[in-house]
């Protein structure tokens, strides 16, 4: 039963994982880094959220999110608004500057991926995206 298929996925995932953690500090390119990108995107899509909810949804430790949010606040990409109903809690709200940066960074990423799949058929791109999404959902479950 599909042992070799599994083996390919396992191997290629290892390779991909390593490539994706290659440091290369994306100097000068943009002010956003890949860590805070998803956090900012979440705030863009879902509106204002607190550290707790963000950490849960991103499946990260609160300490990590807390730091990422602080970084974004320093850069002026989000505002930190005290929750009027809970003195311990805050909402992080994306700013106009944050939206601009987010879009810029997204565009830059998309150009990179465009170059990588430029010889691929639409069918392949569609399948790849769909399966990646499905895989991520499986990862998210367990």
Q: Which residues bind a second copy (CB under 8 A)?
A: 2, 5-10, 12-22, 34-35, 37-38, 58-60, 106, 109-110, 113-117, 120, 122, 124-136, 138-139, 142
- Using the rule CB under 7 A, is 124 a contact of DNA? no
Distance CA 131, CA 23 (A): 26
3-state secondary structure of 43: helix
Element holding 7 (H helix, E strand): helix 3-20
Q: How far is the CB of 81 from a second copy (least distance, A)?
A: 26
Distance CA 19, CA 7 (A): 19
Q: How far is the CB of 116 from DNA (least distance, A)?
A: 18
> For binding to DNA (CB under 7 A), which residues are involved?
18, 21-25, 33-36, 50-53, 59-64, 66-70, 80, 83, 85-90
């Amino acid at each position: 039963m599909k042992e070799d298929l599994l083996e390919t996925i396992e191997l290629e995932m290892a390779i991909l994982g390593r490539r994706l953690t290659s440091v290369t500090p994306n100097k000068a390119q943009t002010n956003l880094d890949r860590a805070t990108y998803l956090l900012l995107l979440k705030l863009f899509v879902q509106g204002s959220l607190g550290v707790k909810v963000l950490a849960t949804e991103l499946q990260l430790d609160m300490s990590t999110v807390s730091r990422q949010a602080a970084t974004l606040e320093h850069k002026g990409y989000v505002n930190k608004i005290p929750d009027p109903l809970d003195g311990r809690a805050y909402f992080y709200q994306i700013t106009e500057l944050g939206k601009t940066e987010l879009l810029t960074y997204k565009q830059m990423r998309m150009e990179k991926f465009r170059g990588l799949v430029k010889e691929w058929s639409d069918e392949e791109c569609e399948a790849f995206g769909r399966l990646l999404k499905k895989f991520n959902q499986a990862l998210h479950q367990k």
